[in-house]
Structure 1
């Protein structure tokens, strides 16, 4: 298959990941860590955030998320705080260290979004919607046809 949409999506994903990893490295972090900081900073005012929210937002497995959060707690980027009504649940809060970085991280992601919007031009909304539909459709695994 010469013009594979899946391959091109993978190449675009890799390029974006490398770009964010490169920027994160300048802060002494990983690309995933800056994504988590950005996500929490943008959503914490709306509701409490838990590890499960990260699993869903970034489509990562429970064990992966647990390692990520533990590492971020050890690096003084996150704190696990018990919920008042139920001590079993631990909400995730940014530390002052992470909060200081959040503004810079937000600016980086805004610049990246602007670069993509400039490249896509008027097609930005259609591209976003198409990729959203692909993400939803492929989140639930389908059974492979017998001919595979």
Structure 2
């Protein structure tokens, strides 16, 4: 049995990306936060921990960085706040606006989260030439842009933006 003709080959990017995501979630250590945090929450916490060293972080920053809807970000951040990893503090210029501040509890996990993410990134890249990784990154960013643009267009057509 030979390889399928090029015309018969169907891209299965979504399935492959889903499978990678599934493996990342399964293999990600749950020790950070004593199992209190999901895979996505660990990534968000790491983002908050690192970015808050240089600037104030707001929910909108999390939404944009992780390409998630407001309702999704709200739910995750509320759980992280309830678990004691972050607090939300009013800012003087606008009492409605709340900056996200990592707690001391979260700070204790900074090194561990950073090491686990670096280890997983290394496993993902193992045996792949850097040029191929660069191409992969460019293609994935382009695909993400395609989906983001399509989602915005769909939201605009439906008159909703999840607010």
TM-score norm. by structure 2 comes to: 0.78
Counterpart position of 1:61: 69
Alignment partner of 1:106 is 2:114:
yes
| RMSD of aligned alpha carbons | 1.9
**What's the CA shift string for 1:6-65, capped at 9, x where partnerless?**
221221122122223xx1356322112211111111211232111111111122211121
* SS of alignment partner, residue 101 of structure 2: strand
What is the match of residue 39 of structure 1?
A: 47
1:79 maps to what in 2? 87
Which structure carries more relative contact order (alpha carbon 8 Å, separation 6+)? 2
The 1:107/1:36 distance shift into structure 2, 3 A limit, reads same
Alignment length (residue pairs): 141
* Structure with the higher helix share, 1 or 2: 1
Moved over 4 A (4+): none
Q: TM-score, normalised by structure 1?
A: 0.85
What stretches of structure 2 of length at least 5 have no aligned partner? 1-8, 155-163
Runs (5+) with no aligned partner, structure 1: 144-148
Distance 1:6 1:74 in 2: 33
The alpha carbon displacement at 1:2 in A equals: 5.4
d(CA) in 1 for partners of 2:97, 2:70: 15
| 1:138 and 2:144 aligned | no
> Whole-Å Cα distance in 2 between the matches of residues 131 and 102 of structure 1?
27
Cα deviation 1:49-107 (Å, max 9, x = unaligned): 11111111122211121111111111111000111222221000100001001110010
TM superposition shift of 1:120: 2.3
